[in-house]
A and B are shown apart, each in its own frame.
Chain A
Amino acid sequence: MSTAVDTTAAAVEMEHVESHLHPEPTYDLQAHPLPTGREEIWRFTPLKRLRGLLQDAPSDGHLEQKLELPASVTLTAISLDEASALGGTAPFDRLGALAAKNAGGALLLDIPAEADVTEPIRVHLHGTSLDEIVWGRLVVRIGTQARATVVIEHSGSTTYDAFTTVLVGDGAQLDLVHVNDWADDAVHAEQINARVGRDATLRQFEFTLGGDLVRTSTNVDYAGPGGTAELFGLYFADAGQHFEHRLFVDHTAPKTVSNVVYKGALQGEKAHTVWIGNVLIRKVAEGIETYEENRNLVLTDGCQADSVPNLEIETGEIAGAGHASAVGRFDDEQLFYLRSRGIEEAEARKLVVRGFFDDLIRRVTVPELAAKLSSQVEEELQRHVLKELA
């Protein structure tokens, strides 16, 4: 009898799938040489603006921490070796490998099995200086059948590179919210490697609203069948900002589900956003369902939104696979519909933009955070669009 354990083992001990889209993961820095900028995984990133992050420079700089931990949840310092021994996929790129090597130590945020944590767990990381690089290493682990919401908020000025491992136990439900609301001069690179347990659900949100350069790579695989990963993102890039969100969902087990929805808006000269959505459906991954979507609203001239969905399929025995990607200005048909109800053009545009984002924000299960994000989007809009329309 083919048990779940067999399938899981098979899934994790996957054969390597040759692809330029997702290099072989390893902690070995030698295997992640300095990029030239022409590689598939680097070609959209302005490497110079990483401010030396790609150099292998040790630093003991750190971000200020503010924590809100409910009673059953612990945050402990562990060694880098202990962190990698907990499991999860090794770094896919040099930034991830460098953070894993240079962070000095790791933090383990641990939610015990069967805990039902109703209060959000909040980790606020604040940068106070551009003088030194900050390396970060975090493991978020939620035990079997537990349920929790973790909010990681970023603010301030820094040059920060983190490698984050997310381990979702069997049957667990984790909402993981990243808020990247940096000051205008911050540089933030992060690799988030998540492993979703059997019948578990990971819902991740990324809200990237500030910073000079933000590049995150989220890589998800499955430790067993029946897991679900929902990856939602919202970004709002102003003049000169580079926001890059890379997603890779590796369907390593049967009957798994992935749903990726990222929405962005761009305004101002040289605002640049990049969205890469890679999905690999392995031979073993029969009966899976995947959908990925990226929509970009270009609000002014001089912006660039890159949007690249990639689907690699090694089995046809799946329940469904789809993707959608769009970069555009306002939808004339939406504006016509609203205006045909008497709503003036400026008001109609506001409705459309707010609606575009509210669609994602309202899925956040922390009401006061959702409200805060709504008002931040509103502030962003005030800077350009609403001002011009007023």
Chain B
Amino acid sequence: MSKLEIKDLKVQVQTDDGPIEILKGVTLTIDDGETHAIMGPNGSGKSTLAYSIAGHPRYQITGGTVTLDGEDVLQMSVDERARAGLFLAMQYPVEVPGVSVANFLRTAKTAIDGEAPKLRTWVKDVNGVLERMNLDPTFSQRSVNEGFSGGEKKRHEIAQLDLLDPKVAVLDETDSGLDIDALKVVADGVNRFREREGKGVLLITHYTRILRYIKPDHVHVFVAGKVAESGGPELADELEANGYDRFLKAAAV
């Protein structure tokens, strides 16, 4: 089972000119096995939502709740959230010089499972995932995200999704900056994850392109820190045809 419930979430960040409210009451429920796409123009607060769920210290929660299977996510530390079953695939994954991908993956897997993975099956699992993500076997000896191409960074994020096997994955613009081949590899990785029992996905994107490969159950249009409209996959088609104008105008009124 996996159910991520976001209720009336309000978030602000500190700036030189004082606090600015970015999320102005977001309500969203991702039920067992569902994939939701959040679409919106730049600056609408999509990434803030992703980082707030993951617990980035820059974002201050000023109201609302986030629960995973009834557990209060907002009370958990960043690493506790991950161990509870949340995963954030980042738009800009961070370089960690000198820490090899192999060491990183094993340390993360050990932390999530509470015990070290069995060596023999683990090596096989890692190699299998890297191969499916079209990453060279020598990839695991490189430093985490250091010198990776944009595509390698995103494929590495999805390789982690596969290996760490969370309950709910938040994908923050995983499609941005990818060419069509890399996009397909990433989408295949996400779809393999979705095929597993009861996995939730929150797919944050600026473009409709990725929705041709990952079919969402629900689509939400995000404008000015709020969900402006929710619907089925047909809402994405409308956005593809008409863009965000209708929603931006409505928000401006």
Rounded to whole angstroms, the CA-CA distance of A339 and B82 in the bound complex is 8
8 Å CB interface, A349-377 against B: 351-352, 354-359, 362
Select one of A336, A343, A345 contacting B107, CB under 8 A: A343
Scan B87-130; emit 1 where CB is below 8 A from any A CB, else 0.
11010011111110001100110011000000000000000000
Interface of A is mostly: helix
Q: Is B164 an interface residue (CB 8 A)?
A: yes
Chain B contacts with A in 163-197, Cβ cutoff 8 A: 164
**B residues in contact with A338, CB < 8 Å:** 96, 104, 108
Given the complex, which residues of B lie within 8 Å of A354, measured CB to CB?
98-99
| Residues of chain A in range 121-142 having any CB-CB distance to chain B below 8 Å | none
Q: Is B57 touching A336 in the complex (CB atoms < 8 A)?
A: yes
Chain A residues with CB under 8 Å of B54's CB are 340
B94 lies within 8 A of A337 (CB): yes
Q: Does A46 contact B (CB under 8 A)?
A: no
Q: A347 at the A/B interface (Cβ < 8 Å)? A: yes
B83 at the A interface (CB under 8 A): yes
A342 at interface, CB cutoff 8 A? yes
Which residues of B are found within 8 Å of A336, using beta-carbon distances? Answer: 56-57, 78, 94
A334-B56 Cα distance, complex, nearest whole Å: 12
For the complex, give the distance between the alpha carbons of A337 and B88 in Å: 9
Q: Is B77 part of the contact surface with A, judged by Cβ < 8 Å?
A: yes
Contact A339-B79, Cβ < 8 Å, known A332-B57, A344-B111 = yes
Give which listed residue, A342, A345, A355, contacts B164 with CB less than 8 A: A342
* Nearest residue, chain A, Cβ from B81: A340
* CB nearest to A352 among chain B residues: B96
Tell me, yes or no, whether B60 is within 8 Å of chain A by CB.
no
Q: For residue A67, give the distance in angstroms from its CB to the closest CB of chain B.
A: 33
- List the A side residues contacting B143 at CB < 8 Å: 355, 359
CB distance from B160 to the nearest CB of A (A): 7
Do A359 and B97 touch across chains, with their CB atoms under 8 A apart? yes
Task: Report yes or no: B78 in contact with A339, Cβ–Cβ below 8 A.
Answer: yes
Cβ contacts under 8 Å, B94 to chain A: 331, 333-334, 336-337
A16 at the interface (CB under 8 A from B): no
Q: Pick from B82, B99, B112 the residue with the most CB of A within 10 Å.
A: B99
Judge whether B98 and A358 touch: CB under 8 Å: yes
* Contact A355/B79 with A336-B57, A342-B164, A343-B111 known, Cβ cut-off 8 Å: no
Q: Given that A351-B96, A355-B99, A355-B143 are contacting pairs, would A340 and B111 also be in contact in the complex, using a CB cutoff of 8 Å?
A: no
Set of chain A residues within 8 Å of B104, measured between Cβ atoms: 338, 341, 351
Q: Which residue of A lies closest to B113 (CB)?
A: A342
Residues of B within 8 A of A357 (CB): 98
B166 closest partner in A (C-beta): A342
Query: In the complex, A345→B111 CA distance in Å?
Result: 11
Chain A contacts for B103, CB-based, 8 A: 351
B174 to chain A, nearest CB (A): 15
A90 → chain B closest CB, angstroms: 38
Contacting B79 at CB < 8 Å: which of A334, A344, A352?
A: A344
- 30 interchain pairs, CB-CB under 8 A: A332-B57, A334-B95, A336-B57, A336-B78, A337-B90, A337-B93, A337-B144, A338-B104, A339-B77, A339-B79, A340-B54, A340-B82, A340-B87, A341-B79, A341-B104, A341-B112, A341-B160, A342-B82, A342-B83, A342-B112, A343-B111, A345-B77, A347-B107, A351-B99, A351-B103, A355-B96, A355-B98, A355-B99, A357-B98, A358-B98
Besides A340-B78, A352-B96, 12 other CB < 8 A contacts?
Answer: A332-B57, A336-B78, A337-B90, A339-B77, A339-B78, A340-B54, A342-B82, A343-B82, A345-B79, A347-B107, A352-B99, A362-B98
